[in-house]
Amino acid sequence: MDLRSNLHSAVATLRWREAVIFQAPAVLGLAVFIPLISLGSAWRGALACIGSLLAAASILAFNDWADISLDSQHSLKRRGTFVQRGLHPQQMLILALALAAGGLIVFAFLSTLHVAAAFLAIFLGLAYSVPIGGVRGKSIPLFSSFLHFGGTLLSFLLGALTFAPTDWRGLLIAAHPAILLTAGHLVQEVEDFEEDRLSGCRTNPVRFGRTPIFIVAAILFGISFLLLYGLTDAGFFPPFVKYTAALYPIYLALAFQSYRLGLTRASVRRLRDRYRLLFAVVLVAMLLGSLRQRGLLG
């Protein structure tokens, strides 16, 4: 395979869509603290987005590299592995390292604090995916959720630090998307329950059961709405943002429907597809509310 084909395969095998989705906390962090629009702020914001995208892509690439043995045995994932696209595991590892290095270099143009936060976020991603002593973070109940919470918190701060020093305000706002995405990951673990159980991966549902973790995820979603309501009351967002809490009963109705169907892979995946739309509305409301509150929207 020539260099051009290798490069094409490498680009095609990366999970760019997921990497872009993971930019939501960073973009929100930018929006909450962005000053008046100027060439300088636009340039710093663009650097933060590029660095964050490269860091997220590297974490996903490390995950694919570490999971290749399991994914190759998975009937639903086998066809989408990087091996099927013509890449060797060593090439995938080099690609992941190159993406991580690229992200850190981009953040170096912003501040050393950005580099430190990005390095820690990548480290948490490695702790989730790469086995240490034969054990991966994703196979350690509760710890795996902590890794997702911490990674999302850092992602938000990578955006916020671009225009403001880190303080309790940034951490408090960052807790909202962190709780939201942690709950979403628990639902994903419920979806993958059968495959994880058969492969010996001790995720939260494998350890504690599908139903209890499904309920915990619903509670965490509720906490995220309560937190956003409180943040709005405290003046962090315009008053209209608090009304997104009305979406929570819709989530509960969809979740109950999935529960009645037995929490099968198909029913939980259908739930995830639907609630992603609901939470996209929440994040867009937060984004627009932040820009409006800072006088950047009419």
Query: Residue 37: its pLDDT value, please?
Result: 74
Query: Residue 99: its pLDDT value, please?
Result: 93
Q: What DSSP string runs through 143-157?
A: HHHHHHHHHHHHHHH
What percent of the chain clears pLDDT 90, i.e. is strictly above it?
52
Output the pTM of the full model. 0.85
Other CB atoms closer than 10 Å to residue 267's CB: what's the count?
18
Q: Which of 166, 200, 222 is the last residue of a domain?
A: 166
- Taking the C-alpha atoms of residue 106 and residue 113, their distance in angstroms, rounded to an integer, is 12
What residues are paired with 132 via a beta bridge? 135
Let me know whether 63 and 139 are in one domain. yes
Closest CA to 52 of 121, 139, 3: 121
Residues 190-198: what's their mean pLDDT?
88
pLDDT higher than 70, residue 25 = yes
pLDDT higher than 90, residue 147 = yes
Residues 282-294: what's their mean pLDDT?
85
Closest CA to 154 of 184, 128, 123, 133: 123
Let me know whether 126 and 15 are in one domain. yes
Query: Residue 169: its pLDDT value, please?
Result: 80
Q: What DSSP string runs through 204-241?
A: HHHHH-HHHHHHHHHHHHHHHHHHHHHHHHTTSS-GGG
pLDDT higher than 70, residue 107 = yes
Let me know whether 87 and 153 are in one domain. yes
Query: Residue 1: its pLDDT value, please?
Result: 46
pLDDT higher than 90, residue 246 = yes
Q: Which of 107, 140, 166 is the last residue of a domain?
A: 166
**Main-chain phi, psi angles of 134, to 5 degrees:** 85, 0
Let me know whether 271 and 138 are in one domain. no
Query: Residue 81: its pLDDT value, please?
Result: 67
Lowest-pLDDT range of 15-19, 70-74, 166-170: 70-74
Would you say 45 and 172 are in contact if contact means Cβ atoms under 8 Å apart? no
Let me know whether 193 and 233 are in one domain. yes
Residues 241-265: what's their mean pLDDT?
94
End-to-end distance of the chain based on CA atoms, in angstroms? 54
Q: Per residue in 126-140, pLDDT tens?
A: 898 887 766 788 888
Q: Per residue in 261-278, pLDDT tens?
A: 999 999 999 999 999 898
Structural domain tally of the chain?
2
Q: What is the CATH number of the domain that holds 31?
A: 1.10.357.140
Let me know whether 280 and 180 are in one domain. yes
Would you say 174 and 160 are in contact if contact means Cβ atoms under 8 Å apart? yes
Let me know whether 14 and 138 are in one domain. yes
pLDDT higher than 90, residue 10 = no
What residues are paired with 135 via a beta bridge? 132
Let me know whether 155 and 255 are in one domain. no
Query: Residue 79: its pLDDT value, please?
Result: 63
Let me know whether 5 and 148 are in one domain. yes
Closest CA to 181 of 28, 22, 32: 22
Let me know whether 96 and 203 are in one domain. no
Let me know whether 5 and 137 are in one domain. yes
Q: Which of 102, 135, 166 is the last residue of a domain?
A: 166
Q: Per residue in 32-90, pLDDT tens?
A: 888 877 788 889 999 999 999 999 999 988 888 887 766 655 555 656 666 666 677 78
Token pair, residue 106, equals 């981009």
Lowest-pLDDT range of 5-9, 174-178, 218-222, 252-256: 5-9
What percent of the chain clears pLDDT 70, i.e. is strictly above it?
88
- Taking the C-alpha atoms of residue 271 and residue 266, their distance in angstroms, rounded to an integer, is 9
Would you say 12 and 1 are in contact if contact means Cβ atoms under 8 Å apart? no
Query: Residue 233: its pLDDT value, please?
Result: 92
pLDDT higher than 50, residue 3 = no
Would you say 45 and 162 are in contact if contact means Cβ atoms under 8 Å apart? yes
Let me know whether 91 and 114 are in one domain. yes
pLDDT higher than 80, residue 297 = no
Residues 206-229: what's their mean pLDDT?
96
Output the CA torsion sign for 102, 179, 33, 154: negative
Which range of residues forms the domain containing residue 205?
175-298
Q: Report the SS3 class of residue 48.
A: helix
